[in-house]
Structure 1
Amino acid sequence: MLRENVNDLIAFMAVARERNFTRAAAQLGISQSGLSHAMRALEERLGVRLLTRTTRSVSPTPEGERLLERIGPRLEEVEQELVLLTDLRERPAGTIRITAEDFAIDHVLWPKLRKVLHNYPEIKVEFVIDYGLTDIVAERFDAGVRLGEIVSQGMIAVRISPDQRMIVVGSPGYLEQRPAPLVPQDLTSHNCINLRLPTRGGLYAWEFEKDGQELHVRVAGQMTCNGITQILQMALDGYGLGFVPAALALPGLEAGRLVQVLGDWCPSYPGYHIYYPSRRQQSAAFGIVLEALRESR
């Protein structure tokens, strides 16, 4: 019953309050004859007379007054909630959950977002560090970040950083103890710091390329961890060679605390992309975050 009566109830409220069909029709944006027809139809469905009509005026019957007092405030509450929802859409608010590697969060996402989030205190951002290929839909993330623009079907990828490069570094003290590797195969005689991936718990095979030749090298060493910043620190402390993003190693290289090896075997890769479902209806908050990441790659 509610579904077929709600529009007519809203019309009844306008007539009962205005006590005039002409003014109520103008308020509702419908014709006077259409409004009169709707009121007669409502009364017929309810089996109760709601309005007393004369040639000069219209007023609610006792039953109409009771209906106005009971449903009027409730319909107004519904209208207010709908207005609030519209305001939320127009005033960015809500929580945006993003999964990414810690390096991407520290060096790409946060440097961009910290410039704009002060202006939107009602936007909350949750970062979750993950090196796996997370199903962002199943895990209820708004977006994920990974290198390259190749994503699964049904996703949109937007580039948010320049090309990235992974390099092999070690401390000067470590490299004084043994000859620097000249080709990737030489790494088998070195103490290398491994990265353990969450996918089936496997170790990451270091990826190299030169003159069209690609090599994936399984390395071994004393230390293994599941975070890239920890690998860098271990390399700085002289515990072996690490395979880390060039931007992460740059301060150590400039300070002379790290040395790069196998530089001609370390190509660049397509930069970081943020990806999200193509069928996703973007909230205003997500639009603000996306635009901030997209700008000034």
Structure 2
Amino acid sequence: MTDLAPQELRVLVAVERERSFTAAAAALGMTQSAVSHAVRAGERKLGAVLFERGRSGATPTAAGTRVVAQARQVLRLLELMRTEAREGEPERVAGPVRIAAFRSVAAQLLPTVLARLAERHPELSPQVRIVREIGRGTAGEVADGHADLGLATMDETTTRPGLVAVPLFAESYALAHPVGHPAPRTLPLVDWDENCGSYTRSWWHGQDWIPQATINVADDTVVLSLVAQGIGMAIMPRLALLGAPDGLAVTDLGPEPPSRLVGYVSTPALARTATVRAVIRELRAVPLPPGLTPKRQGG
């Protein structure tokens, strides 16, 4: 089988992104017939249909989705290959590095990491995307080729083939409730979509005092605002509770509270690049707030 050329990979990525051969041609500065030819050539080489053609445009098949994710990763490695070859000096780290992170870790830890990177590697250009940690989450961003490194919660989605997942710290949960309430566990539950993943489910199901949520929102900062206004209580990870609004108190959940592991996710090839290694070094060195326990194994 003849390998796909880089330009063929770029065409596949563009068609998947634009959902149209015509729009992909415009984005790449090519003719539509050239794009169609490149897609057909890629399908012939791989022995699979990658896109369903129709009046609504081009929709990737299951095989097409997998191939395009791998195409993005290959193109990113080619880009980094040129960057690293030009550096010439072992300590010089330059160019973009794409980071995906969920909101609380991005708000509480990334500023320190990025400040340290700016001081040590002024030619490095971090590009940060905030991703909701549900569904494929930040690990999915890496697997799909949209990010070089993801800050993720460690569960079954981060152990998929083709990814390197390394824990950085364990984050305990606590009870958030209005200041001064005499019995906060009797309050209605306010929850949000990203809460209670597989890492807390067994603990959660063993607590007969936790009611069904009366309010469920899309963002943990909204949960905190509602709780501070006296609307209910919430069970929250410690990072989300940092910088909590006035009117909100935090109480421990006992000697063995639920917790989740948080770490970084990359691919084996990207984890060896200078830009990603620089980010990993700072993630491992960043001081952790109370309620977080380091997990500093290698990876």
TM-score, normalised to structure 1, is 0.54
Q: In the alignment, is residue 94 of structure 1 matched against residue 102 of structure 2?
A: no
Q: CA deviation at 1:123?
A: 1.2
CA offsets 1:155-174 (integer angstroms, 9 cap, x no match) = 112233x321112211125x
Please identify the structure whose Cα radius of gyration is greater: 1
Which residue, 215, 225, 241 being the options, matches 2:233? 241
Query: Gapped runs of 5+ residues in structure 2?
Result: 1-80, 287-293, 295-299
Q: Per the alignment, do residues 291 and 265 of structure 1 end up closer, same or farther by CA in structure 2, a change over 3 Å counting? A: closer
Are the aligned partners of 1:231 and 1:244 in contact in 2 as well (CA < 8 Å)? no
Q: Distance in 2 between matches of 1:248 and 1:137?
A: 26
Question: 1:1-297 to 2 correspondence within 5 Å?
Answer: 86-88=85-87, 90=89, 91-130=92-131, 131-132=133-134, 133-134=136-137, 135=140, 136-148=142-154, 151-160=159-168, 162-172=169-179, 175=181, 179-181=183-185, 190-197=187-194, 204=196, 207=200, 214=206, 219-222=212-215, 224-249=216-241, 257-260=248-251, 262-263=253-254, 266-270=257-261, 272-280=262-270, 282-296=272-286
TM-score norm. by structure 2 comes to 0.54
Q: Is the 8 A contact 2:108 2:242 kept in 1?
A: no
* Preserved contact between residue 195 and residue 227 of structure 1 (Cα < 8 Å): yes
Identity of aligned residues (%): 18
Contact 2:96 2:125 in 1 (8 A): yes
Offset, 1:278: 1.7
Alpha carbons 1:208, 1:265 under 8 Å: kept: no
Structure 1: 5+ residue stretches without partners: 1-81, 198-202
Q: What are the Cα deviations for residues 270-297 of structure 1, in whole angstroms up to 9, with x where unaligned?
A: 3x21011124373322221121112255
For these two proteins, the number of residue pairs brought into alignment is: 196
| C-alpha distance in structure 1 between counterparts of 2:129 and 2:118, whole Å | 18
* Shift in CA distance, 95/172, structure 1 to aligned 2, threshold 3 Å: same
Q: Which secondary structure does the structure 1 equivalent of 2:143 belong to?
A: coil
When residues 221 and 94 of structure 1 are mapped into structure 2, their CA distance, relative to the original with a 3 A threshold, is: same
- Per-residue CA deviations over 1:215-273 (Å, capped at 9, x if unaligned) read 59673224x332223322322232221222224436659x8741426445632333x21
Cα distance in 2 between the residues matched to 1:84 and 1:147: 30
Q: Distance in 2 between matches of 1:288 and 1:145?
A: 14
- Cα distance, 1:83 vs. partner? 9.4
* Amino acid of the structure 2 residue aligned with 1:246: R
Q: What CA distance in whole angstroms lies between the structure 2 residues aligned with 1:221 and 1:288?
A: 44
Alpha-carbon shift at residue 148 of structure 1 (Å):
2.8
**Per-residue deviation, residues 182-209 of structure 1 (Å, max 9, x unmatched):** xxxx6xxx33222124xxxxx8579466
Secondary structure at the residue paired with 2:270? coil
Could you say if the C-alpha distance between residues 139 and 226 of structure 1 is closer, same or farther in structure 2, counting changes exceeding 3 Å? farther
| C-alpha distance in structure 2 between counterparts of 1:195 and 1:286, whole Å | 31
User: Amino acid of the residue matched to residue 138 of structure 1?
Assistant: D
The whole-number CA distance in structure 1 between the counterparts of 2:268 and 2:229 is 45
State the 1:154 CA deviation.
Answer: 1.9
